[in-house]
Structure 1
Amino acid sequence: MTGLAVAFALLLSVFGLIALQYATERSLAESRHDQIARVISANIGPAILFGDRVAAEENLSSVHDISDIGSVRVYSTDGTMFAGYAAPVSQEDADARWPTEVRFPVLAQNEKVGELRMRVGHRSPLDILGDTAPAALLIFLVSLAVTLTTTRWLNTMAFRPIDRLSAAMRRISELGDYSVRLERDPDPDFDGIVSSFNSMIGEVESRNAELSHTAEELRAARDEAENANVAKSQFLANMSHELRTPLNAIIGYTEVLQEELVLADMPRSVEDVEWIYGSARQLLSLINGILDLSKIEAGRMDVELHEFNVGQLVREVGGMLEPIAAQKGNTIHLQVEPSIPTARSDSAKLRQCLLNLASNACKFTENGHVFVLARHDGEDLVFTVSDTGIGISEEELSRLFQPFVQADASTTRRYGGTGLGLAICWRFAEMLGGSVDVESTPGEGASFTLRVRLDLGEREQADEAVRTLASPLDDARQSPSDASRPPLALIVDDEPSSVQLLTRMVSQCGYDAICAGNGRRGLDLALERKPDLILLDIGMPELDGWAFLREMEANDALCTIPVIVVTVDDSYRRAINAGASDHLLKPVNRLEMHEILGQYANKQSGKVLIVEDDEATANLHRRGMEQVGYEVSAVTDGQAAIGLLEVEEFDLVLTDLRMPKGDGFQLVDRIFGMSPDRRPGVVVVTGKVLDEDETRKLDGKIIKLVSKNGLSPRRLALDAHSALPRPHATSSPVVQSA
């Protein structure tokens, strides 16, 4: 590049010299022509006065040896040529060689007697270049040779070492090879740079090794911390399960003892038992909070997506808060923005967040006000829970959402609590795509803002790819050979206290009970005795509850027996997907257990038509209806349902609203138009939240509206039984909400 730059400069210099020479020669020629013209004018003036043409022409011909003058002519004052001289060439050559005409006045005795006109020419730059080209080329070549020699020396002295330095830096940058070192250089100046570079790379290599070692230690520490956190979460989960097992027995037997003490008319003992029961329930609430927190940290807390009405949810929360607020003399104020659309999220987790925030507001406020406001902001739902209570200081706000932390020790002593509610609320808000913010002034109250996504994601078919049943259920249920004998319940649980409590519950409902301490023994008894109902724990030796359900599902002789999972494991959706008819969480609610036992003790009869386009959901519904004795048919769309209703009579139709080939609204209208003696009852089972117009379309035409969200096969059968009309009923029930 240096050589090319110098060569270009030399070329510019050559052309500059040629231009300078051209300008110089032209200036000198113009001066010379002026002098010649003046001399001729001075000499030819007398010849014009005397009319001596011969003398004039001799004078003019004196320029014949001057190559840059082509012709000289003298004109008299009247414009006629007096005398002239012209070079012996053609007119075209003359115009090309001497293109310029110079005019000078001719004076005699200071009077103008004529005009001298002289044609002149100048050498062009090409002429000059042609004359100087050999010398210019020689100079250019010599200069270029000197330049190339100089650049070669510069390359050896400076550029090549710089290239070596650049190559070494590229290798270090691209490959991370800090072992690269440059060799010593003969040039003393650059050798100093090489030495500094090698020292710098050595220092970088040393520090990089230290950083790598430190990073490895940090990774190891991080892995240990993560393992410790997982171990802690697993420990909390295991301990929660272990604690809930004896609590199940304490709460269950306390309820039994309370009933017996009431019958024995022992009010003081009843009061003592109530204290025991309340303390056990409080301890259970604490354990449930720890279990929720451990599941969140272990990544095992799932989000159940479904549609729900935000205003209805806020009103439900308000109803739950009334007793809590009344204890402290507080007033609850609810305000819901009317324009909030239907939400698609996890209503259970959102409800728990609002309950945690609002119950805290009630707890820390006395004779004041608690406000729950709901609105939507773009794609988010925003809930604000404010109170007029004791408030929170700046220092306390910084650690407010940490587990097991409250404002200070005095707050815990005065108001109670474990500090888990806000930590769980914070994590649930993150799972729902949002956050929790708080503003507070001590002594004036606090305001919590919960922000979650309005639509958390597209709903999957049947909430989660529910597994399709392997084979259709048998039309003929296995029933005891002796119709007069009591129904039989099989209890599969390895915890003796739980077995005893469940045995007492089923006996009170008229069941005979048989028990198995593990899953393998339970399967053997199920095959041998064909029970009417199975109550199944999950965590058991030899064969756990999940494996038990899988083997039940695969056995044609057992798959028709309803299984109620009764466990401390709250994997509700997994239990339903695995084939369970319902899922109860220990400690068992006695009223709910009595309801279940009564439902399966009394077999139903009748024909039910299921209209559902999702095969997995249809199979879940079929399972629930057939296990209580109904004869079930299923179709996938409204048109097929109408065709079947025209040729066959049914007692009840269970239908979704969103289907291909005729939606549920059209089907309901067609059924309502049937003659009363053939018209079946209609129960709508849907995940859709109905607006006012859609509700009016169904009003008076269906018996019940049931939400798919969290619906178990057993619960569906119970709703269907409560809605089943009497034969040939002519009344038109109004829409109910289940």
Structure 2
Amino acid sequence: MNLKNIKIETQLKFGFALMLLLVVFMGFIAYEQTNQIHEQTKYLYNHPLKVRRSIGELKADILIIHRDMKNLFMAKDEAEFEQNIFELGQTENKVFGHINDIYANYLGPKSDVDTLKSNYELWNSMRKETIRLLKEKNVKIAAERTKSYGIAGNQVQLLMKSVQKIDDFARDKADEFYQNSSNINYRLNLQLGFFVVIVLLISLIVQYFILRNINRPIHILTKVTKDFSDGDYSVRSNYTLQNELGGLSNAFNSLAEKLEENLRLNEKVYSLSEIMLHENDTKQFFIKTLSKLTEQTSAQIAAIYLLNDQKRLVHIESIGLNEEIRKEFSVENFEGEFGAAIINNQVHHLKNIPENSKFVFNTINGAFIPNEIITIPVVTGNKLIGIISLGKIGHFNAEALNLISKTKDTLSARLESVLSSAKISAFSEKLKETNIELEKQKVELYNAGSYNRGLIEASIDPLVTIGPDGKITDVNQSTELITGYIREELIGTDFSFYFSDPATAKKGYEMVFQNGLVRDYELELKHKNGQLTYVTYNASVYKDGNGNVVGVFAAARDITERKQAEANQRQLHEELEQRSKYLEVANTELELQKNELSAQTDELSEQNTELEMQKKQLDEANRLKSAFLSNMSHELRTPLNSVIALSGVLSRKLKGKIQDDEYSYLDVISKNGKNLLYLINEILDLSRIEAGKEEIDLTAFSIPELVSDLLSMLQPTADEKGIKLINTIPSNLELIISDRTKVRHILINLIANAVKFTTEGQVEVTLKRKPNYLGIAIKDTGIGIDPEVVDVIFDEFRQADERTSRKFGGSGLGLAIAKKYSEICNGYIEVETLPEKGSTFTLFLPIIEDSNIHRSKSVQNKKNAGDENVIKLRKTLETTILIVEDSEPQILQLSELLSEEGYKVLVARNGQEALEIINQSIPDAIILDLMMPEMDGFEVLNTIRQQFETKIPVLILTARHISKEELSVLKGNNINQLVQKGELNPAELLKRIESILPEKTSFHREAEPPFLAKKAGDPTLLLVEDNPDNSMTIKALLGDKYFLLTAEDGITGLQKAINYKPHLVLLDISLPGMDGFEVLKGIRENETTKNIPVVAVTARAMKGDKEAMLAFGFDAYVPKPVDNELLESTINYLLYGKQSI
């Protein structure tokens, strides 16, 4: 099989599949190596680390036993002595437990553990002997045994050596596992580099062969097409492979062959036509035409037969026929091979005549029977005038048949013209003889008709007398005027000569001679100067004395005006007919366009259906993508929760207890876990941006304050590297209106990058201005960027130099997100950089004018310099706010917040209750939730606007996503504010509430701290978590501070909450059987547990998850991986009111 014959589509599919296969194989190798690294890490934790932890605890317990033995000697009484023995027994049990743990996890010879155990048991028996001696009051002997040189002391040294041997082996094994992980990592990098090179080489090879197989035939076809267009009609493509371009080559060759055949045929048609048009002599015309036909069709026999008055075809001229076989044929009987052609008036092709055929008929060649005969009827106006017959011994080719088909009509027309010329010539000779005779008769008539002169001259109409030969015998003066000729010039000339149509004029006077008279016979008289005059003749014959007709007397009447009117009418009629035809054509075109539009409509309908299906598929893909991101966040955060939190617990508990290099392992685990969490958050941010789910929240804020906060946060990192941070932005800069959160994200990324990539020097933050834009520039003296790759740094997972990611770290997402955030804020980022000189990144934000934004000013207390008191304006107690909300936590939070600010608060837990309260007392403002049972917020708002004349300010506070249609409904009902739950902090929410209130007198008062009762005793917490690792993590974080109850599923958790009534519940959301939402619902529905604070501890950390949790009724939200400080501050706030969530 020739590989070049493979279709281009197949080649492209094969190349793509090959590269995809290589990438999958490379991913499989990386997956296997990563698993090996994971196994090494697991072995490091499960064996050496656990053994060394058990060793440490074992050493501590041995020292405790040694200490307690000394306490036995100092016991004051028997009770104290027995208490010490009891504590010794408990410690001994712990020691055996540690030895069993070591035996289970120790990877060295088990004999080492057996030796340890036997030494301990021996020491244990020695201690029992010592205790017996003490009980018998042999204190001195017992004391000698316990001294360092005594039998028990020596045994302790042997025991500690056994412990140290196992400890040394565990430490060496940990080093071995770490080295193995490093080696696997090196091999993985080497293999990945090798496979990347292989994939690139194979890709280039596949690309080369595919391009070669496409470009070569295209070049061949291009050259052949150019040669053909230049006039070389014999050129053909020699590309014959069986692929798409081979098919194109064959199609071109077929087209070129047909064009060449048509050109040859046209040349032959032209040659034959030229001969026929240039020959007027009948005989020469027939001979040359037959000769050319036999030459161009390769016929051996040719003949022309013409139809005579007896309806017989008579031989006129031929080539290749003997005299004796030239016969006549009857047209009426359809004789011979002419019959079929005569009946249909079509060319008849008789072929494949066998030599021994018994089918005998009169042919033009007598006894000779050719293989094929072509009979060409010569027809004019559907009337047969002759036959041309061609005979050939062989076969007529297609080109000959096409030639005959194309020249048949021309041949018929030209033959008719030649025959007409011959008839005209014969008629002219006969006419000359007649004129001589008529001239004699004219002289006689002139002598006989002179008496009519006076009468003729007296007429105002043109008069003329005509002899039997058609010659003018006399005219009057009016005839001279209308013709432009004098009488002498007219007499003796043919009457028909002076008319535009001589034949019609001749026919007119002949009718007079036949019928005796003619009336209103219209002719077009021709003046000497060429002017035409329309006339109508009335004529009659006149006779001599013997009654013989001697001539015609004709009188003409000028009808030019009438003819002009008729011409105008006829022209108008023709125009109407043309317009009618045009309208018919237009109607036809419109009908075609209508049909075409109908077809296009059907096609568009099909396309719309297809687009709708694609839209549904795209929506489903977006939904699956969001679900995947949510699941990915959950599945990644769950193990990271254990990694980060437990590494922090181990870091605190093992500090100072293990060697520094081993302790540093925990820092590495914690740091990389947090780096991975940061990367996950960045990927989720980027996915949200690309999905178009990021919204802009415009607020007025201070750029100098924001930059100052960011520089203070990064100052420790800069100090550690010896870098100077400089802020030159003026503190009195006007407020800017933008999305503060996104601007903060952009600036912290740019400033952190400047610090990270600067090894010495400084990072300076300055202000720039452009028309309608304010710029914040971050200039550093770092490594700089190659100008050729500046555009690359804003792409996802890309850095200017991939080597920098090794040295400085980073995922390559920070600048990509920063750029997208700047575009969302209608701004942009500019970069100025020089390699090894430093870079300047400038964020430009649009300047938005808003007359409602006012800068808050600080008032300095003159008595205490440097202290600032922020002045707050609060509403008086006369201001009443109605809260319409069905969520109790939300009601409590809003009520407390508003009451502290001095507002009078009314609460309605459903829509009907709200309408009843408004009927009794109209509040100053309403805070309305949209999602409520029975009557939702839309119905409540619509009823308020219809039933109450006063316009009550309404603030919509909801966790629901508002569609465009719903937003239009809300705007139509004149809402004042629309706020998403969880989107604003209390201070911002108060500002929104104050902005909708009518102007009232306000006063300043100090806020009183709320009274919070602390719970007595150790608080009991219930942890509902199905993941054992996460459960163990939270136990490690809180186990020494609180009494923890645990439940592994939602049903058990709800039962324990009802049975034990804990002070606080830590509740996971994704639980088997009954999820966290159902558990919360069960807790709130039970009278004994409905007031217990419930904290959502979940890996659901997508945007909006926190707000959804709080809106559902959770008292607080802690995302996984669990941050220890956030978890403790949340618990302290809910239990004691110590900190803010």
Q: Which of 1 and 2 has higher RCO (CA within 8 Å, sep 6+)?
A: 1
Looking at secondary structure, tell me which structure has more helix per residue.
Answer: 2
Q: Say which one has the larger Rg.
A: 2
